[in-house]
Amino acid sequence: MAARVDAVVFDYGGVLTGPVRDSIAVWIAADGIAPESFSRTLRAWLSRDAEHGTPIHRLETGDLTVAEFDALLAAELDTVDGGPVDPVGVLDRLFAGMRPDPAMFALAGELRDLGVRVALLSNSWGNTYPREQIDGLFDPVVISGEVGLRKPLAPIYELTLDRLGLPADRVLFVDDAEPNVLGARAVGMRALQHTDADTTRTVLADLVPGLAARPAPLAQESSA
């Protein structure tokens, strides 16, 4: 067994929810967005090399309002029929299909019951978080737009560690985006790139005594 961890820090979108890409795909189809126009804009706005911060960076740190971001994003997008993109509520529609993953919330609850600290570290895109559910389970809750910092830059990880009061090597960070995983490792945290609840649980079961790895479906069928 690998050295155990004293805390697990979870990302929100794509980790504690279903895949964000699925919600994006539904929005693109429903709004008739030309997919390449969205991919092109996303690549440019996620660039680490932007000098003064892209609209995504500014949204994540609270420097842009959701309405301002919606207008900027709509202006960059093309539709398949050549018409304009409605700028009102773009992010609401983009995230409309994103739902909490019960398996991941259950996993976080099991970890807490086993004495492991569980925390949340999320880059906010104006998301509406289920705050009652989150605030009752995770401590601390660090949301980029509330603290003026963003992943994958070091200060937001360092803030989270400070609020946990734990050394970096005793904390595991779970995120679905590779740059954010690498950012956590750069400050000394252990980090796991999330793909699905079963895989993340299996990894954690090797780090947390008492946490059972969920049996694979094939194993269940063969034992029936």
| Distance from C-alpha of 88 to C-alpha of 48, rounded to nearest angstrom | 28
Tens-place pLDDT, residues 122-155: 999 987 799 999 999 999 999 999 999 999 999 9
Kindly give, in sequence order, each residue whose CB lies less than 8 Å from that of residue 135, ignoring residues fewer than 6 positions away.
Answer: 141
Q: Sketch out the chain's domains with CATH numbers.
A: 7-18+100-223 (3.40.50.1000), 20-94 (1.10.150)
Tens-place pLDDT, residues 64-92: 999 999 999 999 999 999 999 999 999 99
| Beta strands per DSSP E along the chain | 7-10, 117-122, 141-143, 171-175, 190-193
Q: What is the pLDDT of residue 224?
A: 38
| Distance from C-alpha of 25 to C-alpha of 22, rounded to nearest angstrom | 5
Q: Under a CB-based contact definition with an 8 Å cutoff, are residues 175 and 184 in contact?
A: yes
* Mean pLDDT of the 113-123 span: 97
| Distance from C-alpha of 61 to C-alpha of 146, rounded to nearest angstrom | 7
Tens-place pLDDT, residues 14-70: 999 999 999 999 999 999 999 999 999 999 998 766 556 899 999 999 999 999 999
